[in-house]
Amino acid sequence: MSDGKEYISRPDELGNIHISEEVLAVIAAAAAMEVEGVGSLSANLGSDIAELLGGKKNLSKGIHITVEEESIRVDLSLLIKYGYTILDVAKEVQTAVYHAIENTSGLTVACVNVHVSGISFERDGGK
């Protein structure tokens, strides 16, 4: 993840809570994939390719979490299914990811940046 930081820590009345950035990325990926019109997540050139070449299994390809002071920023890259309006799907993904992370982790999400890297086409199944 970014800045070499693996966990986001929050003080609580009973102690500290540590949430892995990978957990937040998986939550974001699951929320994005539930939106109608999303074809798949898309690996970005750079750190995702480096992780794949390094042999590390990447369950949340295309998702980058950045910790900014008291909030987090989510960047995700995806493919939109052919026939869907790109802007509408991207806005729905932003909303879904924002609410999923805030509701499950209690963390403040500063922004959700959606990068549409392409269009996916469904196959006819041999017809």
Token digits of residue 81 = 């299914």
Listing DSSP states for the chain in one string gives -GGG--EEEEEETTEEEEEEHHHHHHHHHHHHHTSTTEEEE-PPTTHHHHHHHTT---TTTTEEEEEETTEEEEEEEEEEETTS-HHHHHHHHHHHHHHHHHHHH-PEEEEEEEEEEEEE----S--
Domain regions of the chain by residue span: 2-120
One-letter amino acid of 44: N
- List the chain residues with pLDDT less than 70: 1-5, 44-60, 124-127
pTM for the model: 0.79
**Predicted local confidence at residue 3, as pLDDT:** 46
Third-level CATH fold of 2-120: Alpha-Beta Plaits (3.30.70)
**Predicted local confidence at residue 48, as pLDDT:** 46
**Predicted local confidence at residue 122, as pLDDT:** 80
**Predicted local confidence at residue 50, as pLDDT:** 47
**Predicted local confidence at residue 9, as pLDDT:** 81
